[in-house]
């Protein structure tokens, strides 16, 4: 089940969960993971921006200022994702492919001619719909990687049932 609007779940992750951050963004979740943030930065940002903390550090979650947090046990990013889905019942809240996996910005549809100088000619020949991240400039299209990502999303949803 895919939610038709942007998810209400907003996360901030510690530096040890960078791959999990990208996976959560793939599923449409607003996810911040800044390698320059220390524990106090994460706590401040969580409080000021109403974000749930995801971390492997149990001591971080013991801070009394933290309103919401989830400790991640696994070291494997795929299993970490499943932990989050199970722990927070996220299945009904996904909206894949709406965020840049690199910087978390919502991607926007762009005209093919607007990105023609940024992709290979063969890509322009075989694909007609493109999205661009206004934050970092990354270009997205539904190539073969898109089908693999859809299968991955389906497998995660099936696993957490």
Token pair listed for 76: 């494997």
Closest C-alpha to 91, from 156, 4, 12, 37: 156
From residue 136, give the alpha-carbon distance in Å to each of 7, 20, 41, 133.
Answer: 22, 19, 23, 6
Euclidean distance between CA atoms 145 and 21, whole angstroms: 19
Contact 96, 3 (CB under 8 A): no
Per-residue pLDDT for 1 more than 80? no
Give the per-residue pLDDT at 161. 77
Give the per-residue pLDDT at 142. 95
Euclidean distance between CA atoms 141 and 51, whole angstroms: 30
**pLDDT tens-digit profile of 31-81?**
999 999 999 999 999 999 999 999 999 999 999 999 899 999 999 999 999
Per-residue pLDDT for 6 more than 50? no
Q: Where in the chain is the domain with CATH 3.40.50?
A: 10-93
pTM of the model: 0.92
Give the per-residue pLDDT at 7. 54
End-to-end Cα, the chain, rounded Å? 11
Per-residue pLDDT for 4 more than 90? no
Average pLDDT, the chain: 92
Choices 1.10.1740, 1.10.3210, 3.40.50, 2.40.50: CATH for 10-93: 3.40.50
């Amino acid at each position: 089940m895919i939610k038709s609007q942007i998810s209400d779940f907003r996360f901030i992750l510690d530096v040890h969960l960078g791959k999990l951050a990208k996976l959560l963004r793939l599923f449409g979740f607003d996810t911040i993971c800044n390698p320059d943030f220390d524990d106090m930065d994460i706590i401040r940002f969580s409080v000021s921006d109403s974000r749930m903390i995801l971390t492997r550090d149990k001591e971080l979650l013991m801070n009394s200022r933290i309103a919401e947090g989830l400790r991640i046990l696994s070291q494997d990013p795929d299993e970490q994702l499943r932990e989050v889905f199970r722990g927070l019942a996220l299945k009904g809240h996904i909206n894949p492919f709406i965020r840049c996996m690199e910087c978390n910005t919502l991607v926007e549809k762009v005209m093919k001619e607007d990105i023609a100088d940024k992709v290979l000619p063969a890509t322009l020949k075989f694909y007609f719909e493109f999205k661009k991240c206004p934050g970092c400039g990354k270009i997205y299209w539904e190539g073969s990687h898109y089908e693999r990502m859809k299968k991955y999303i389906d497998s995660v949803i099936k696993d957490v049932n």
